[in-house]
Amino acid sequence: MLFNYRFTSLPHYLSSALSVFGIAFLAASAACPAQPVRQHNAWTPIGLSGGGGLYTPAISPADPKRMMVNCDMSAAYITADGGMHWTMISELELHSNTRCRPAFHPTDPLTIYAADGGAGIKVTHDGGTHWKQIGDLPGDLRGEIAIDPENPNSMLAGTGTGIFRSRDTGTTWTKCDGPTGEPLSFHFDQTTAPDNRTCYLATTEGIWRSTDSGKTWARKMAGLPAADILDFAAGSNAKNHLVMLYCTVPSKANNGKFTGGVFSSIDRGETWQSALGTGLNVETKAFDEWAMGPIAQYQHVLTTNAQPETVYAFNSNTGIPPPHHATVFRSDDAGKHWKSTFQADPRFPGDNVEPDYQLVGDGQYYQGIPSVAIDANDPERLMVVDTGIYVTANGGKNWQCGHTQRAPDGHSWLCNGLVITTTWNYYIDPFDANRHYIAYTDLGFARSTNAGSTWMWWAQQGRAPWNNTCYQLAFDPQTTGLVWGAFSNTHDIPNANIIYGGHRSTYPGGVCVSTDHCVTWTKSNAGLPALAVTSIVLDPRSAKGTRTLYAGLFGAGVYKSTDNGQTWIARNVGVGSADNKRICQLSIQPDGTLYALVTALRQNNKFVSEGVGLYRSTDGAEHWSLVNASQQLFWPKGFTVDPKDGKSIYISACNANGQEQSGLYHSADGGATWKLLTRKGPEHFGAFLSPTHPGWIYMTLTEGAPTSGLWLSKDHGTSWSPITAFPFANAQRITFDPANPNRIYVTTFGGSVWTGPAD
């Protein structure tokens, strides 16, 4: 169906992670039967899946239903059923590496080699549950890990310091002399003898060939227009003695003519020829204002040993509609003729991609250049990933969504385990236990009407105008369905991306109100400056219809409304400093006492102390006083005040200015004195008091947690135990289930929401 469309650029909620150009692929069963997706003991991920940055996918040549992918939010994921369901690999076992593709063993589907973050290489022999460190590779792996299909003892890998080879399945590694540049990919020539294999490798600075199993290397660039290599792929088939090499180089316009792009070699790299056959995008002028550039860049190329003359190329767009769009080009004659095989936008003819909730919700597809993988034994099976995963098992005739699934009701979505989003708060509606809500970064907001079994992303009509992030909700205690929300186009507050300046912190935000259980939102912002609203609380003592609410703004302090959120006025006497009113959290006690946390500010690459801290008001925000004057903290992230004892206060803090300030601090006397209860990592996020188990305190760590991100004390903070079954290291906030004291919900920085046992 062709719509009357308007071209739309990539929205802010996707801008930090490229586009929704993913591919998971549904492969047929192979040597090893698919295993069910593993849960982490009793812990289960919930919410919308997909929606974050995915990289370095890989497919098992022994069982193409087994695939692996890495996320830029620190976790890696694995599937055993072709992308229908995914399992997060516990970060206690393996950390993600978005710059190095893992390698599946060519014949054993349960053996996988992968970079462990920036700390060398690990191997699993049970399909990804348990991993162990092997070899002596230096950290910071890049490009890929490669295994000779006929001789698995022989391996090649790239690192930040060069190219390495192993002849004993990764136990020992030797650095290769000669090649320079950032490692990209490798190939073992299957037409040559395994004990004296011809090998190829590509870096950003060239393509090299070895005729002695990787001992020595010679650069092979004749015919290529430049030394800059974007990608490299090769296929070699001993049966027909065919060897095909492909590479991509930067595209340019010379006197109005397209040059660069895709090249091939049929003589083992001695000479290279252009493979810009008919069908490729060779435009030299942008078609519309949403083009990624005036000329298509071919960032990736793929082929297989099974069929080396079948090759795929992946391009940036020169405009939104086909044939200018970013797509997957396929050639079956080594680049003489090409055809587009990926069109996901329903506004144009030829749509052949199963939609996800973002495509359904927005009615358009946001294009980008994905990370890609192919089944080494079947050129029909591809996997492309970006903020999601899409899969083809028929060479691109159609693509199936592998990061989410539509529920049987047709309008909500199932979580399939590929949870890669940041979540700030999880809510259970106080009037209806079946209504659950998630405050997201990048995805904004989602709701469930069946206690979290399926989820609905917010509709484009009725969405908050600041749709990147929802930080917090405030429910009217007497009116069902009446909810206020804190929204912003600035995300990651108060985590490192914002504090260290990795993201701009001044995108607009505001308050919205919903009267229909968060289905639609209306701006309720009069008097607020255009800055991120990070927190919103309601005074339950105020009158119905004229509720008193407080909003915390990142950079503008505290604002108050006494007319149900219609108008707002600043209330900042005593809060922060002139330069720092970066509120990241508010809370209100049953007696109306208010607390506001001002988080870190860095100036001239140094944390400043002025203004930072926890503030208290006992007169409706007319005046504020510093609570932690006796315990200076440069970077607090969260606080908790015991609702049963207002003098018992907890603050979570991070290291700053080279000082070890991180940890959970407690005051038993209203802030006069403080005690460090524990320090388990460089960035503590919060503490949460169980409402049903006296003395139980949950503690969360975010970013850099050396072990678990979730801890529990059952003795008021005297001793602590990690909850090691929780698989994700970056935990943020805890929600307690009012109907089930034995269940909690944990929001995370990049791993969605998990629910599991309270103990």
User: Is the pLDDT reported for residue 21 higher than 60?
Assistant: no
Strands 141-147 and 100-101: parallel
Coil vs helix vs strand at 161: coil
Q: For the residues 653-679, what does the mean pLDDT come to?
A: 97
Share of the chain above pLDDT 70, in %: 95
> In the structure encoding, which two tokens stand for residue 252, read together?
């340019």
> 201 or 26, which is more confident?
201
| CA atoms of 509 and 488, how far apart (whole Å) | 4
User: Is the pLDDT assigned to residue 661 strictly greater than 60?
Assistant: yes
Ordered domains of the chain (ranges, CATH): 99-385 (2.130.10.10), 459-757 (2.130.10.10)
Contacting residues for 305 by C-beta, under 8 A, at least 6 apart: 149, 190, 235, 236, 237, 376, 377
Q: Please name the residues in contact with 269: beta carbons below 8 A apart, sequence gap of 6 or more.
A: 200, 207, 209, 220, 245
Average pLDDT score over the chain: 93
Q: Give the rounded distance of the alpha carbon of 271 from its chain centre.
A: 40
Q: Bigger pLDDT: 476 or 5?
A: 476
What pLDDT shows up at residue 40?
Answer: 59
Strand pairing partners for 384? 372, 390
In this prediction, residue 42 has a pLDDT band, given cuts at 50, 70 and 90, of confident
Assign 3-class secondary structure to 269-285. CCCCEECCCECCCCCCC
For residue range 323-350, what is the model confidence (pLDDT) as tens digits? Answer: 999 999 999 999 999 999 999 999 999 9
For residue 276, pLDDT over 90 is answered with yes
pLDDT > 70? residue 309:
yes
User: What is the dihedral angle through the alpha carbons of 148, 152, 158, 161, rounded to the nearest 10 degrees?
Assistant: -130
For 110-125, the pLDDT digits (tens) are 999 999 998 999 999 9
Query: Both ends of the chain: CA-CA distance in Å?
Result: 52
Q: For residues 358 and 364, what is the distance between their CA atoms, to the nearest angstrom?
A: 8
For residue 64, give the DSSP letter. Answer: T
Residue type, 249: V
Structure tokens at 372: 């890609």
Task: Please say if the pLDDT value at position 433 is more than 90.
Answer: yes
Written as six digits, the tokens of 286 are 């942008």
* pLDDT of residue 36 exceeding 60: no
Residue in this structure with the two tokens 């080396």, named with its chain if needed = 308
Overall pTM surpassing 0.85 (yes/no)? yes
H helices of 446-546, in order, are 496-499
Question: Does pLDDT of 1 surpass 60?
Answer: no
Q: Are 510 and 533 in contact (CB under 8 A)?
A: yes
Render pLDDT for 340-383 as a digit per residue (tens, 0 to 9). 999 999 999 999 999 999 999 999 999 999 999 999 999 999 99
Residues 394-413: what's their mean pLDDT?
Answer: 96
pLDDT tens, position by position, 595-619: 999 999 999 999 999 999 999 999 9
How does residue 4 score in pLDDT terms, banded at 50, 70 and 90?
Answer: very low
pLDDT number for residue 281: 98
Find tokens 């020595």 and name the residue.
216
Dist. CA 375–CA 395, nearest whole Å = 11
- Rounded CA-CA distance 5/222 in Å is 46
Q: DSSP string spanning 545-575?
A: TS-EEEEEEBTTEEEEESSTTSB-EE--TTS
3-class DSSP state for residue 531? Answer: coil
pLDDT tens-digit series, residues 625-656: 999 999 999 999 999 999 999 999 999 999 99
Give φ, ψ of 259 to 5 degrees.
-135, 160
Does the pLDDT value for residue 13 go beyond 50? no
- Candidates 524, 536, 610; CA nearest to 575 is 610
Between CA 223 and CA 246 the distance in angstroms is 13
| Residues 146 and 155 sit within 8 Å (Cβ to Cβ) | yes
Does residue 23 surpass a pLDDT of 70?
A: no
Confidence of residue 620 (pLDDT cuts 50, 70, 90): very high
> Within 10 A of 544 (CB to CB), how many other CB atoms are there?
11
Give the tokens for residue 80.
């055993």
